[in-house]
Structure 1
Amino acid sequence: MSDQEQQPHRSGFASFVGRPNAGKSTLTNALVGSKVAITSDKPQTTRSAIRGIVHRPDGQLVLVDTPGLHRPRTLLGERLNDLVMTTWAEVDVVAVCFPSNEKIGPGDRFIVTELAKVRRTTKIAVATKTDLAEPERIGQHLLDIQALGADLGFEWQEIVPVSAKSGDQVSLLSDLLVGLLPEGPPLYPEGELTDSPEETLVAELVREAALDGVRDELPHSIAVVVEEMGLRPDRPADKPLLDIHANLYVERDSQKGIVIGHKGARLRQVGTRARTQIEALLGTPVYLDLHVKIAKDWQRDPRQLRKLGF
């Protein structure tokens, strides 16, 4: 009997947390081996707890990718923080991401202080983006992470340096996470990479494309709602076409102009980029119809937040 056969199968949930733009979504995608979470160089990109599923012979790891925890300034911010805290209490392992190319700051301390209040969950630290830091810097960073835990009265179960971009130590992190899960059968069918509805993934990919290269004030202000999505009825089975009609909501007229661009050029770019990603994800040719609408101050309006799915 091989070692693998003797090992019990493990399954469970792990959540990556960290301040905005700490590399959580990129790490989720690297572990799953497919794009299930949107990534952007703009902080505050992730809005929903998308789950990525890692299938292995010895276990199944379900990754819950939460929004970055931050001091909230709007009702939307408060709701996103509540989502993070609820998730922490429900998963088996929480992995806090600390970018290696940045010093530990007040944002990190705030997160770890909140996490210290969650008693039962196993806590590990991940030093992300090691490809952007020198070895000495990484060494110091690991010591700082250890000190932060000690300072707040707990010991990290593991501290792991990784680079999702280069793939360095990603499989080691996968091994460690699976090893910390309870014994149990697979929770999802083989081959399933996420339990998010396709409409959610499509909306997220459109939003990612819309965020690319726009000014800093826009990320919080863009919401995407897929109004309609379905296969075009008059097409032969071997030549399907998926029709998607989606609305991009912004808060002000000036933002609408930024998203649409000169003579609609920017919106066409967004459509092309999003369509390519959606086709790769769903494996079907797509006709994508995008419209930009204004939902005035939606981040502060409970009625509009509900309508936009928050």
Structure 2
Amino acid sequence: MSAPSPSPDAPDTAAAPHRSGFACFVGRPNAGKSTLTNALVGTKVAITSTRPQTTRHTVRGIVHRADAQLVLVDTPGLHKPRTLLGERLNDVVRTTWAEVDVIGFCLPADQKLGPGDRFIAKELAEARKTPKVAVVTKTDLVDSEALARQLIAIDQLGTELGLEWAEIIPVSAVAGDQVSLLADLLVPLMPEGPALYPDGDLTDEPEQVMVAELIREAALEGVRDELPHSIAVVVEEMIPREDRPADRPLLDIHANIYIERPSQKGIVIGPKGKRLKDVGTASRTHIEALLGTPVYLDLHVKVAKDWQRDPKQLRKLGF
């Protein structure tokens, strides 16, 4: 038996098609890409730091909505490379651009457009088929007049380079301003299709890699400006402690913090081991929140001589 035809005056109850796809955030180092990814996902999936070039892995954060699933690809900042590591990070960025459905170009509201922004914009102009959204980040750091000047400058940059913006939107990931609106603007730019990841998944990054990144984030904060790019972390083992009662589990994590020269070892460890202990305390809090279980964290500092320039060492450290 067929269903009766709807009345011509009946409201259209057909649901909008579900959309799913990949959005990539690009921009020069420290433009707020990782903080924005975390704000959209609603939890920490990408490490952040006041140090540029913090991100080294392509981290996918997954935003679940009733009408769509956005998979956010947070790439390293595109920069003028000085090492083999730098060259490989730039290759990661360009490869990602070719594979996503929309590119979000992050430009901080509190910094005038510079040569680095123009360099990226020129490269983006070559990716003609991919829609591009200009995301003006860190709006909480400027007043309305400065923000207006930045919006005008970004619009003019697009006109000058033949770069058509699908949208220009100011946001503050820290204050939460217009973050949900950004998601609303990204959804229509995605292709129609079913969800790409199971409901509840927030990232496809392996737990071991995320744990290593959380340790590296804590280590970066500990050494301030002394060793911004010389630190790498490898998690060697993550093993549940045997003979623990079911209601009191403990996960043993053994990790190595690698630096490039013996003279850097003391900087990371600190006087009487205090700095390394602080790194362990800070990172363990985030790791336990991520994994949902108590953790015993065993950290060691090792030298991998000039690892940023050595192909063999880069492979060993996962780059």
With normalisation by structure 1, the TM-score equals 0.98
Contiguous gaps of at least 5 residues in structure 2 = 1-9
Q: How does 1:1-310 map to 2 (within 5 A)?
A: 6-310=15-319
* Secondary structure of the structure 2 residue equivalent to 1:39: coil
Q: Percent identity?
A: 74
Superposed displacement of residue 118, structure 1: 1.6
- The 1:109–1:287 alpha-carbon spacing in structure 2 relative to 1, beyond 3 Å, is same
- The 1:4–1:278 alpha-carbon spacing in structure 2 relative to 1, beyond 3 Å, is farther
Superposed displacement of residue 239, structure 1: 1.2
Letter matched to residue 85 of structure 1: R
1:201-226 per-position Cα deviation (integer Å, ceiling 9, x unaligned): 00000000000142324121000000
Larger Rg: 2
Superposed displacement of residue 92, structure 1: 0.3
Letter matched to residue 292 of structure 1: V
Superposed displacement of residue 252, structure 1: 1.1
Kept in 2: contact 1:4–1:58 (CA 8 A): no
Kept in 1: contact 2:124–2:163 (CA 8 A): no
In 2: Cα distance, 1:233 partner to 1:215 partner = 38
Superposed displacement of residue 122, structure 1: 0.9
- The 1:2–1:189 alpha-carbon spacing in structure 2 relative to 1, beyond 3 Å, is farther
1:133-163 per-position Cα deviation (integer Å, ceiling 9, x unaligned): 1100000100111111111112111000000
* Secondary structure of the structure 2 residue equivalent to 1:157: strand
Letter matched to residue 273 of structure 1: A
In 2: Cα distance, 1:155 partner to 1:75 partner = 33
Superposed displacement of residue 35, structure 1: 0.3
Q: CA RMSD in A?
A: 1.3
Kept in 2: contact 1:95–1:124 (CA 8 A): yes
1:35-73 per-position Cα deviation (integer Å, ceiling 9, x unaligned): 000000000000000000000000000000000000101
1:217-262 per-position Cα deviation (integer Å, ceiling 9, x unaligned): 4121000000011211221222111110000000112221111000
In 2: Cα distance, 1:2 partner to 1:209 partner = 55
Superposed displacement of residue 295, structure 1: 0.5
In 1: Cα distance, 2:195 partner to 2:30 partner = 31
In 2: Cα distance, 1:4 partner to 1:58 partner = 14
Kept in 1: contact 2:222–2:279 (CA 8 A): no
Which deviates the most, 163-172 or 216-225? Answer: 216-225
Aligned length: 310
In 2: Cα distance, 1:256 partner to 1:22 partner = 30
Kept in 2: contact 1:70–1:81 (CA 8 A): yes
* Secondary structure of the structure 1 residue equivalent to 2:98: helix
Kept in 2: contact 1:247–1:292 (CA 8 A): yes
Which deviates the most, 200-209 or 111-120? Answer: 111-120
Superposed displacement of residue 2, structure 1: 8.3
Letter matched to residue 47 of structure 2: I
1:81-113 per-position Cα deviation (integer Å, ceiling 9, x unaligned): 000000000000100000001100001111111
- The 1:5–1:213 alpha-carbon spacing in structure 2 relative to 1, beyond 3 Å, is farther
Letter matched to residue 63 of structure 1: L
In 2: Cα distance, 1:292 partner to 1:193 partner = 31
